Amino acid sequence: MNLIVAVDRNWAIGKDNKLLVSIPDDMKFFRETTSGKVVVMGRKTLESFPNGKPLKNRVNIVLTRDNNYQVKDAIVVHSKEELNAELTKYNNDDIFIIGGESIYRMMLDECDRAFVTYVDYAYDADTYFPNLDDNSKWKLAEESEEQTYYDIEFYFRTYTQAR
């Protein structure tokens, strides 16, 4: 199982149910990496998308504890157990955890690979991803050259977890 996330220098990921920054090349990387795959998200992350709609060309799985919650073109599950039962239907390498904080924390230990866009700036934030550089189970496997978008510097990193 994979996860994909954009973090800042403090491993912050969001503020007021929005992303901290929108970088076109990172959006492109996200789209290309997850297209045709299975994306798993919390209800708040789904609602942060344009018009609160699921992502096109992907199987969307949304977690909520609300039994009446329904979304067109998405599979809704209500617990980690229900999620794991649903995920048995797919190839493990095709599954991407896409946030937010609560879902990343819940699924981190089950993931083998993390695609982390590391943005070298400290934003004002209210949601965070666990710092993988401080986690002995995770190793930085690959890092791109420095990328830039106007004055923003960022890197595409891949971390792996030995399990």
Ligand X SMILES: NC(=O)c1ccc[n+]([C@@H]2O[C@H](COP(=O)([O-])OP(=O)(O)OC[C@H]3O[C@@H](n4cnc5c(N)ncnc54)[C@H](OP(=O)(O)O)[C@@H]3O)[C@@H](O)[C@H]2O)c1
Interface residue list for ligand X (CB under 6 A): 5-6, 13-14, 17-19, 41-45, 48, 63-66, 78-80, 98-103, 106, 127
Strand ranges (E), the chain:
2-7, 12-15, 18-19, 38-42, 59-63, 75-77, 95-97, 113-119, 127-128, 138-143, 147-149, 152-161
User: Among residues 104 and 161, whose Cβ is nearest to ligand X?
Assistant: 104
Nearest distance in Å: CB 150, ligand X: 19
Cβ distance to ligand X smaller for residue 66 or 151: 66
Pairing mode, strands 59-63 and 38-42: parallel
- C-beta of 114 vs 136, nearer to ligand X: 114
Whole-number minimum distance, CB 66 to ligand X, in Å? 5
Quote the strand ranges of 8-112, DSSP E.
Answer: 12-15, 18-19, 38-42, 59-63, 75-77, 95-97
Which is nearer to ligand X, 48 or 158 (by Cβ)? 48
Q: For the CB of residue 6, give the shortest distance to ligand X in the complex, in Å.
A: 4
